[in-house]
Amino acid sequence: MTPALHAARRLLALLLMPLALAALPAQAQFLNFKQVLERPDRPQPTQRLAYGPLPQQVGELWLPSAAKGPFPVVLMVHGGCWLADLPGPELLAWQAEALRQQGLAVWSISYRRLGHEGGGYPGTFQDVARGADHLRTLAQTQPLDLSRVVATGHSAGGHLALWLAARKNLPATSPLATQDPLPIHAVVPVAGVGDLAWGGGYVGGACGPDTVPKLVNEKERGKQAWSDTSPAALLPLGVPVTMVSGLYDPIVAPAHARRFQAEAARKGGVPVQLLTLDEASHFELISPWTEPGRRVVERVVSEVKGLGGTR
């Protein structure tokens, strides 16, 4: 894609955002991330554990207290535009707690982002891969059922959750490729960008026009920058995928999910399902005290149940 076309797409995203906001229902009072972050009595994980030596290489483990397990696992990846100066896993605490209350273990990981030393390509992707694979180490001492792992993530984390399911298809020459990546059995990206090459420009209005190109190091890598970072380039995933969208989301519009569904259909494999929630913008989707947030939790639980019992 030419720089001129990139610039045109970014400009279009900026121009369309006010129109999207103007189209919201008059009675809607949608949440922003500060309202979620500052909600009182934020629940806390069972443990915070390192999966690597760097400050950002940590995860939150949420374990149900009413049963012994082993518990199915929700592998959770936070969003924040892939940028270091936005909130991390703390923004997903309420969603993690809601899933824990449903009898699921949650491993909610942090990672280096743009603005952290080593963030971007390849560090961001290597971190989430390492965090996912660390579940094998945790399962040696924690009651985790790794035969039932569902990946989910919000916004930028939705992209990374899809990428975790897709990394088994990475080119062998990629520095992101590893032997025997942790199997992901289903994915529920929440406001996720599945086609990074196509969608990066459209999220530029919220995240900054250069964020995605910097994330994948497009300047030095050119077209190859998308081959191992965009889930759409790594299709078919071979596992169930449900793309969740808020109907009125001006940051990651439902068009991103439809685009990924169409790409998946073109390349074959397991059909991608869409769940587009009315009366929802971007942050209701991770707020389980709202109806859209409750529906997201239900969908993740449903995907876990669809995997059956321990194999």
Q: What is the pLDDT of residues 247-261, one digit of tens each?
A: 999 999 999 999 999
| CATH 3.40.50.1820 applies to domain 3-14+29-306 | yes
Domain ranges for the chain, please list them.
3-14+29-306
8 A C-beta contact, residue 203 and residue 212? yes
Mean of pLDDT over the chain: 91
The arrangement of strands across the sheet holding 272-277 comes to 47-50, 58-62, 105-109, 71-77, 144-154, 186-190, 241-246, 272-277
pLDDT tens, 165-184? 999 999 999 999 999 999 99
Q: What tens digit of pLDDT does each residue of 33-53 get? A: 999 999 999 999 999 999 999
**∠ Cα 123 124 125 (to 5°):** 90
- Give the model's pLDDT for residue 28: 57
